Structure 1
């Protein structure tokens, strides 16, 4: 593991709103450029109750959410570092799409790690690269996550892809399962809510991916099966959510990142919620993420 000081670099790519009148795009309509441009005076919503949630749950909560139509944002500890756990799999899958790799390429399944519910069915055989990426995003298959790292040139290659988006914050150092062994104050395998949201926005809503690849990526996000109690539970019925959860299994870490398409054809929101607690063996609670999302909904609505 690389030793680093826990110093957060300034992240130059901000998540301001787009200029001009807000539109109501479909889930595949880009509303940002590859590197989202800051608005001259984005509307930042004051803390709608995140501090009270932290006290209630005995947790540290990091939130960044942006309405990509209006540019309104909600932020709490948005520039602090949190372990990203399995949420990286969403960005890694998008980075593979961005690389131009052929999703039909066969990938041999050999070295399994813990929690690999889909890849374990194919040991000794192959899956397509597209099936591997889908498994990583939709069921959080850990072997699939490592295979995405392999496709990108390891954690360093994944990190380089994020740097190309303008992300100078996210640090990727280890593969599964080691990336989950985060301790407070460490920098490896962490990001900030603001930085992660910028990456997710570029891939899922902006034009970092071409239209066809963006459709594939957002389809994987919407097909997620692990987040029913988190962001999905915090939005009104009828809203569409595509998300990727993360859970390191230590320090009460519980994360969820996603794109929310409100009803009525409104522009999508990008929502990132990270959380942890002070004790190594503290339990995580998906309800904290759901409640935080509910506060985001109230604030942005």
Structure 2
């Protein structure tokens, strides 16, 4: 059964759409009062939270991001959503980007959903050739002789962005097609998981394979960190893995205001540089944010500053 995300997705859709509609609740028929009893008055409805992000705020974010696109000769997509109120800031929210290694956070989440108890201690082994073929594999390349448990591999995929670790975890949860189905079950029918590492980093022009949108990944991240999808203990475990991301300090974390806590998963290859994160304010609800970028010139390398500055522009709208 596919799980809906009413608050977060509603906020994202509202921000992406130019127009919307609303309606009242269905009417109810009151029972006739007894002759000797005065009918009770209806409870006063709780007012919705007053919006804190104005149209002017959103326009300012859009101008800043458009300026960054010109400065870096890049395409930027950002969606940031307050998971408590549903308020959202979006720019190119429905545009497709290669997701690169940000996928590793969702592979680890599905591992925690699907594999439990002693099965997480299953030891997996591989060859040096496997590590070489996968590309960036700083952890698994050091454990060819002894292997690692599948849980250790999931952690290595998130913390160190180990490519072979991702491939082995994805194999355990049904391959790329299995992860794709799992995301769809959680409401993400946009992301298309087709290849493993390193092939997932090559995006063919016009293809939707191995791509997502900022809106899809922001909503998916809100789901896997909602405390219910994984359960409280596994949510805390995934947050712990994401808090140790070795590559995240120069990305969303660098763009967040002082005192805001960030857990994230980065991704990058060639001109692609991405970060998906949950940002917690000292006195406000958590914000999920997906920043996906790609340089327009095929041979131009990514720049972490573009992600950090894009995140700063979006998060500034919530810093009221």
Structure-1 residue corresponding to 2:108: 93
Correspondence for 2:315 among 288, 297, 301: 297
Question: Is 2:179 the counterpart of 1:185?
Answer: no
Cα shift at 1:227: 1.3
Distance in 2, Cα, partners of 1:109 & 1:243: 28
Which secondary structure state, in structure 2, belongs to the residue aligned with residue 15 of structure 1?
A: helix
Contact 1:78 1:192 in 2 (8 A): yes
TM-score scaled by length of structure 1 = 0.84
Contact 1:137 1:220 in 2 (8 A): yes
Root-mean-square deviation over aligned CA pairs: 2.1
Structure-2 residue corresponding to 1:162: 183
Question: Is 2:228 the counterpart of 1:207?
Answer: yes
Question: Is 2:117 the counterpart of 1:105?
Answer: no
Contact 1:221 1:243 in 2 (8 A): yes
How do 1:110-259 residues align onto structure 2 when only pairs under 5 Å count?
110=127, 111-112=130-131, 113-249=134-270, 252-259=271-278
Contact 1:253 1:276 in 2 (8 A): yes
More helix as a share of residues: 2
Cα shift at 1:40: 12
Distance in 2, Cα, partners of 1:208 & 1:186: 30
Structure-1 residue corresponding to 2:26: none
Contact 1:182 1:188 in 2 (8 A): yes
Which secondary structure state, in structure 2, belongs to the residue aligned with residue 233 of structure 1?
A: helix
Give the paired residue count: 267
Distance in 1, Cα, partners of 2:227 & 2:190: 19
Contact 2:180 2:191 in 1 (8 A): yes
Distance in 2, Cα, partners of 1:79 & 1:256: 16
Distance in 1, Cα, partners of 2:77 & 2:164: 28
Cα shift at 1:206: 4.6
C-alpha spacing 1:283/1:273, structure 2 compared with 1 (3 Å): same
Structure-1 residue corresponding to 2:72: 57
Distance in 1, Cα, partners of 2:295 & 2:49: 36
Distance in 2, Cα, partners of 1:256 & 1:160: 23
Cα shift at 1:289: 0.5
Which secondary structure state, in structure 1, belongs to the residue aligned with residue 105 of structure 2?
A: helix
C-alpha spacing 1:300/1:184, structure 2 compared with 1 (3 Å): farther
Query: Which ranges of 4 or more aligned residues in structure 1 deviate by more than 6 Å?
Result: 39-44
Contact 2:49 2:85 in 1 (8 A): no
Which secondary structure state, in structure 1, belongs to the residue aligned with residue 269 of structure 2?
A: coil
Contact 1:134 1:220 in 2 (8 A): yes
Cα shift at 1:41: 11
Distance in 2, Cα, partners of 1:238 & 1:40: 24
Correspondence for 1:81 among 67, 84, 96: 96
Larger radius of gyration: 2
Distance in 2, Cα, partners of 1:145 & 1:228: 21
Distance in 1, Cα, partners of 2:276 & 2:68: 18
Deviations 1:69-114 (A, max 9, x none): 2221110000110000000000000010011333222222332121
Structure 1 unaligned runs (5+)?
1-10, 18-38
Which secondary structure state, in structure 2, belongs to the residue aligned with residue 247 of structure 1?
A: strand
Distance in 2, Cα, partners of 1:41 & 1:174: 44
Distance in 1, Cα, partners of 2:50 & 2:211: 29
